[in-house]
C-alpha cells in the first residue's frame, strides 16, 4: 500500500509535469492525499484528468461570483479550487455560490474541505441528487455511494452553513444538570488541605 507521503509527492510532480505551477501542484498534492485519506479515489481521477487535459482545454475562472457561468467549456476543477481557496474569506458572505458546470468535480472537493477549516464553518456541496458536507476538514459526509464519480457536474451549488448546535436548550440543561453531580462542594477539610493553607510555618 502506498503511503500518504508518496501519494502527495507523486501527485504534486505529475501536476507540475502536466503544466501547473509548483505552487498549484503543491495544492493538488495535498488534495489528493486528503481524498485518499478520506477513502475517495483521488489518484484515479487525477490521472484521468491530467491525461484529458493534454488534449482538451477547460475553462479558467479567476474571480468567483455568486453565479458563475461558463463561456464554452466546463470549469477546470483545480483552477476554480485554487481561486475558491484564495478568495474564501471574501466570498463566504455570499452565503450561496453556483457554477453551471465543473469538470471532474471530485478534484474540486478537497478545496471545499480545506476552505471549511479556514472559515470555521461547514460547507454543503450539491449537484443533481448528490450532497457532500464538509466539516472543518475533519471529515466528509455524503449520500454519494456510487463507485464512479461523474466526469462533469452540472448546476453545482455551494452553501456556507451557519454554526448551530445539534441539540436543544432543554437537552443541554438536562445533561448539564446530570454533570453537576460530579461537582465537589468546598469543605473545611478541603480548604485546610489545599496548597498554602497549612497553619504550621516550617521555616
Q: Give pLDDT tens digits for 80-106.
A: 999 999 999 999 999 999 999 999 999
Q: Would you place residue 122 in the very low, low, confident or very high pLDDT band (cuts 50, 70, 90)?
A: very high
Q: Give pLDDT tens digits for 34-44.
A: 999 999 999 99
Mean pLDDT, the chain, integer: 91
For residue 194, tell me if it sits in a domain: no
Task: Write down the pLDDT at residue 101.
Answer: 97
Could you tell me where the DSSP H helices lie in 60-185? Answer: 77-91, 109-119, 169-179
Contact 106, 125 (CB under 8 A): no
For residue 177, tell me if it sits in a domain: no
For residue 47, tell me if it sits in a domain: yes
Packing angle, helices 77-91 and 22-37, rounded to 10: 90
pTM of the model: 0.85
For residue 181, tell me if it sits in a domain: no
Whether the per-residue pLDDT at 8 is higher than 60: the answer is: yes
For residue 202, tell me if it sits in a domain: no
Mean pLDDT lowest among 46-55, 77-86, 177-186: 177-186
What is the mean predicted confidence (pLDDT) over 131-152? 89
Whether the per-residue pLDDT at 200 is higher than 70: the answer is: no
For residue 49, tell me if it sits in a domain: yes
- All 3 cell numbers of residue 94? 455570499
Q: Which range of residues forms the domain containing residue 92?
A: 4-161
Of the candidates 61, 114, 59, 124, the one whose C-alpha atom is nearest the C-alpha of residue 89 is 114
Number of domains within the chain: 1
Amino acid at each position: 500500500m502506498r503511503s500518504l507521503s508518496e501519494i502527495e509527492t507523486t501527485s504534486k510532480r505529475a501536476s507540475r509535469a502536466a503544466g501547473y505551477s509548483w505552487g498549484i501542484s503543491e495544492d493538488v498534492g495535498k488534495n489528493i492525499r486528503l481524498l485518499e485519506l478520506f477513502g475517495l479515489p483521488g489518484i484515479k481521477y487525477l490521472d484521468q484528468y491530467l491525461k484529458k487535459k493534454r488534449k482538451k482545454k477547460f475553462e479558467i475562472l479567476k474571480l468567483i461570483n455568486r453565479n458563475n457561468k461558463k463561456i464554452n467549456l466546463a470549469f477546470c476543477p483545480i483552477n476554480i479550487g485554487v481561486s475558491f481557496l484564495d478568495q474564501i474569506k471574501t466570498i463566504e458572505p455570499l452565503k450561496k455560490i453556483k457554477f453551471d458546470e465543473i469538470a471532474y468535480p471530485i478534484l474540486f472537493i478537497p478545496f471545499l474541505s480545506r476552505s471549511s477549516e479556514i472559515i470555521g464553518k461547514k460547507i454543503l456541496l450539491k449537484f443533481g441528487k448528490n450532497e457532500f458536507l464538509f466539516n472543518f476538514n475533519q471529515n466528509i459526509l455524503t449520500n454519494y455511494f456510487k463507485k464512479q464519480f461523474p466526469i462533469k457536474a452540472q448546476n453545482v451549488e455551494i452553501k456556507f452553513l451557519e454554526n448551530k448546535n445539534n441539540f436543544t436548550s432543554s437537552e443541554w440543561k438536562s445533561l448539564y444538570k446530570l454533570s453537576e453531580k460530579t461537582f465537589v462542594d468546598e469543605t473545611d477539610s478541603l480548604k485546610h488541605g489545599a496548597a498554602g493553607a497549612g497553619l504550621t510555618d516550617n521555616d
